Structure 1
Amino acid sequence: MTEESGMMTVGEATAASTTKTNFTGRHWMVIAMQAMLFFLGAGLTTHGLNIVIPTLAQTYGLDNAQLLLYATPASWAGIVSSYLAAKTSEKWGPKLTVLVCIFFSALCYAALGYASSITLFVTFFAGVAFFASGGVYIAGPAIIANWFPVKKDLAFGWTTVGQNLSSAFFVMMLAWFLGTFGPQWGFSGMSVLLAILFVLFALFAKNTPEEAGQYPDNDPNWKAHLVNEDEDGAVNPALTTGALLKNKDIWLLGLGAGGVYIVLVGVLSQLVPRMMDMGLDLQTAIWYMSLSALIGTVGAPFWGWLGQKVGTKWALAFYEAWWVAAIIINLVAGDSVVILWVSLLMIGLSLGGATNLTTSVVAGKFRRKAFAPAFGIVSPIQSIVRCFAFSILALGLTYLGGLAGAWMLLAGIGVLTVICYMLVDPTPVD
């Protein structure tokens, strides 16, 4: 849609009408591997904090609130990683970047079991944030953007099923590893899963469908759907870092995505404590969170379908408004289990939409080879904004009456995020 007319561009309208998947087995394999990346990456950087922080606090006598506070500067490592991973993906291909990031993510997460001080926690969690952000959220999506230039929303919709499954099972799996092997060796259980994924990517991943003898989107005429695609798919030489930093939409996309993730990270990292604050015990709270995420797995492909149908920009605005409504409903639940579950189902349905839509809207404006340089700017902006999630939570916890006040701040950020995306012009740039 253009800002002046509010109407869809020809390319956006054509892509939006392409809502049926007809992918080959190789296409689905690419989707499945990225889904596994999202499963582990979301757990390593977000969901796992529900149990990582209290485990380390109890094991080594550290302060729970301080660990949560220092998770913010530790997360800043992902800012640098976002830009570097985009550049290495651009130069050497996203597959190699994914492999390097998986390897070092495994080492850093295993080391968390030995984080006996705040300094060690910051060091090891910064390593996790650095490598997981680069591999899971930059290089992996670059592969998806190469394989699915038109049906990007549908593809990302299926890959983000992995995030919902992560919300449902990661904390339970990590709790089992920690309970079975102890706090020092328990974190290594996730590292073993990362090692398995490393082997799968090394054997089966390809940077582009052409390398595997496949068509993008499994459509020989895929370029006909894109109004500005060059015959050789070359990137516009004007898409340099300097030029992109002067692009208004780059900033709107980065700020908007940052707002989306502040809300998501803020809610998910404290969803279990929020339910405990409402009177539930720890095991019930973990079970409720896991069940809502599992039920909400259908939300991941739904958001992809919606983005493909109406355009990613409008899907994003609706998505964030949905989050705001879910937060408000949770805050007014009181002692009502029914109202609580309405909010939990809304939250669960939302989990698969964030990475899908915020990445797809960039892939729609900056396509295929243009995606890596553009996302290499959008993602650091997003990461800078997203890193304030924990500080915002700490502010609400300290000055606004606890988690309820913190969540009201998250709802306000959700409203600002809707405004950001409504100002984006999604006209494609190749």
Structure 2
Amino acid sequence: MSDSITVPLERSTSGAPLAVRSNFGPRGWSMVGFSLIMYYNFAAWTADGLNVIVQSFVDLHGWDFATLLAFSTPAGWLGVIGSLMIAELINRKGAKIVAIVGLVLLGLVLIWFGRVTSPMEYAVGLTLINFLATGVCFNVPGTLLNTWFPRKKGLALGWATMGMSLCTATLVPIMVLLFGVLGIPNAYAACGLILIALGLATIVWVRNSPEEAGCYPDNEPLSREQLAANLAELESHRSPFTIPVLLRDRDMWLISLGYGLLWLVDIGVVSQLVPRLISIGYDQSTAIFMFTTAAFFCAIFSYVWGWLDVRFGTRRVSIAYALFFVFTHACLMVKGGDVFTYFTLLLVGMSIAGIKELATSQVGSVYGRYDFAAANRVISTIACLFRVCCFAVIAASLKWTGGYDAAYGAFIVLDLVAAVLIYFITDTCKGKVDPA
């Protein structure tokens, strides 16, 4: 494209090596903290929450567990549609206004959700929750951090995506406590009120770009004139990466398919880790404790993968990540003793930590801060379609083999395919960048 600038990804536009220190500045750290909370809520209401949501309505109304669980798949697919629609709004209107409205609406839906009176109302509520949580809590933080930290996005995302790991480790006990103290309807109402408060706080908390807050991209000083020029360009920029252009773009497909496959195997592991541990002889309480242990490893290694991303480049680290997943899946196929099982849990925690950070960072690396939102609306949608396909692979393995080994074998093949696809992603930024 004639108006795009090509720069090497692994060096700054000035040619200086990239910094690997998390010196984001007070306002920058504030955006990282907000993004961490958003990722926590994304995981809470689209994945981890299903560990307690279904059972809570069975306990409250006596509805059939299998019937309620069956609603989760179509709700997830509709959530993918929400991701595309809300990502388009972010591209047109900016991340801040979408976060404000989306969080308030999600809070209102949760308040109503706790008081539904029929399985059909439950299905509608779950669909709305997936629609808003996927669209808002998934897309807003990625857009913010790629805009605030165009060259340190890997580090920023490494910190922020800890929110998903912390959710896995803490959500279930928190919700069980709330159910016990407040009752099920009021527990959902309390969560809804917190989200509404977060949405209102976003009005004064969040800025779409560092320039809006009088700060510098990557917290690296620029002249006052350059800061004003960047802000004017951000506000007036119209991305040339329209949907038809993206659908013809080779890198869009390589990123969507490569990282979509890695996300598929990631969710395939984390969503069935407890049943897998039970299947090899551990009791449920021990399996849950081991799962929580893996989640804390995941939180730590979210930062590690982000540091590696900035230090060595997103594409290289993503290939290494895919190959590391091959080793993890191979270990999951081995049924060893307690020591080996905990070693495997360490590998699982290290593996599942990187996908969201690396996938989001790769979009920013190829399309830049100005065109991230335009590219991400399509890429995140396609990747999410792969994410929800993991259950079909696991179900087939359980049905035809009675265990998880066939699924893990299939995941190894998908890991290798993903590594090949990522290898062919361009190593230069094809979107607009700030002038040196």
TM-score, normalization: structure 1? 0.88
* AA in 1 matched with 2:149: F
> Quick one: structure 1 residues 81 and 273, their matched pair in 2 at CA, closer, same or farther if it must change by over 3 Å?
same
Residue identity over aligned pairs, in percent, reads 29
Specify the alignment match of 1:248 in structure 2.
Answer: 250
Q: Given residue 403 of structure 2, which amino acid in structure 1 is its aligned partner? A: G
Q: In 2, distance between residues paired with 1:388 and 1:68?
A: 16
Q: How far does the alpha carbon of each residue in 1:333-367 deviate from its partner, in whole angstroms, 9 at most, with x for none?
A: 34x11111112112222343111110000001111
CA–CA distance in structure 2, aligned partners of residues 62 and 419 of structure 1: 46
Q: Which residues of 2 match residues 78-227 of structure 1 at below 5 A?
A: 78-113=79-114, 119-221=120-222
Correspondences of 1:335-414 after superposition (within 5 Å) = 336-414=337-415
**CA–CA distance in structure 2, aligned partners of residues 407 and 120 of structure 1:** 36
Residues 87, 373 of structure 2: 8 Å contact kept: yes
1:13 maps to which residue? 10
Aligned partners of 1:397 and 1:119: how far apart in 2?
Answer: 29
Farther off after superposition, 378-387 or 412-421: 412-421
Equivalent-residue separation in structure 2 for 1:301 and 1:142 (angstroms) = 19
Which position in structure 1 is the counterpart of 2:309?
307
Letter in 1 for 2:413: G
Q: Residues 64, 35 of structure 1: CA spacing in aligned structure 2 closer, same or farther, 3 A cutoff?
A: same
- Residues 396, 409 of structure 1: 8 Å contact kept: no
Letter in 2 for 1:296: C
Letter of the 2:251 counterpart: D
- Deviation of 1:102 after TM superposition, in Å, equals 1.6
Moved more, 188-197 or 347-356: 188-197
Q: Which deviations, in whole Å up to 9, do the C-alpha atoms of 1:31-64 show, x marking residues without a partner? A: 0110111112112111222333344455555555
> Which residue identity does 2:49 align to in structure 1?
G
The structural deviation recorded for 1:104 is 2.5
Q: Is the 8 A contact 1:326 1:343 kept in 2?
A: yes
Of 48-57 and 255-264, the range deviating more from structure 2:
48-57
- Could you give the per-residue CA deviations for residues 116-151 of structure 1, whole angstroms, max 9, x where no partner exists? 765444322221221111112212211111100111
The code of the aligned residue for 1:49 comes to: L
Tell me the amino acid that sits aligned with residue 332 of structure 1: V
Kindly state the Cα deviation for residue 81 of structure 1 after the two structures are TM-superposed.
Answer: 1.9
Tell me how far apart the structure 1 counterparts of residues 414 and 57 of structure 2 sit (CA, whole Å).
30
TM-superposed deviation, 1:114: 5.1
Q: Which runs of 5+ in 2 are unaligned?
A: 1-5, 224-229, 432-436
Instruction: Supply the distance in 2 between the matched residues of 1:300 and 1:112 (Cα, whole angstroms).
Output: 32
Task: Give the RMSD, CA atoms, in angstroms.
Answer: 2.6
Stretch moving more, 110-119 or 236-245: 110-119
Deviations 1:231-266 (A, max 9, x none): 946757531111111001101111122212212222
Distance in structure 2 (CA, Å) of the matches to 1:404 and 1:422: 27
Matched with 1:6 is none
The Cα of 1:20 is off from its aligned counterpart by: 2.2
Provide the rounded CA distance (Å) in 2 between the counterparts of 1:84 and 1:51: 28
- Measure, in 2, the Cα distance between the counterparts of 1:406 and 1:314: 26
| TM superposition shift of 1:10 | 5.3
Distance 1:17 1:407 in 2: 37
CA deviation after TM superposition for structure 1 residue 14, in Å: 0.8
Evaluate the alpha carbon distance shift between residue 120 and residue 152 of structure 1 in structure 2; reply closer, same or farther with a 3 A threshold: same
Alpha-carbon distance between aligned partners in 1 of 2:115 and 2:332, rounded to the nearest angstrom: 36
1:57-84 Cα deviation digits (max 9, x unpaired): 5555555555545422211122222222
Q: Distance in 2 between matches of 1:21 and 1:80?
A: 34
Please name the residue that 2:266 is paired with: 264
- What does residue range 283-298 of structure 1 map to in structure 2 within 5 Å? 283-298=285-300
Q: Distance in 1 between matches of 2:68 and 2:329?
A: 25
In structure 2, what residue type is equivalent to 1:326? T
Say whether the 8 Å CA contact 2:297–2:349 is kept in structure 1: yes
Structure 1 SS opposite 2:9: helix
**Which stretch shows the higher mean deviation, 158-167 or 70-79?**
70-79
User: Are the counterparts in 2 of residues 106 and 195 from structure 1 also a CA contact under 8 Å?
Assistant: yes
Distance 1:50 1:415 in 2: 31
Higher mean C-alpha displacement, 13-22 vs 253-262:
13-22
- After TM superposition, give the deviation of residue 423 of structure 1 in Å: 2.2
Q: By how many angstroms is 1:327 displaced?
A: 2.8
Distance 2:66 2:330 in 1: 25
Deviation at 1:188, TM superposition (A): 3.5
Contact 2:111 2:193 in 1 (8 A): no
CA distance in 1, matches of 2:143, 2:361: 10
Indicate the residue corresponding to 1:323 in structure 2: 325
Query: The residue matched to 1:266 in structure 2 has which SS?
Result: helix
Q: Would the aligned equivalents of 2:52 and 2:172 in 1 still touch at CA under 8 Å?
A: yes
Distance 1:92 1:10, change over 3 A: closer
Runs of 4+ in 1 over 6 A off after TM superposition: none
Q: 1:202 to 1:242 in 2, by over 3 A?
A: same
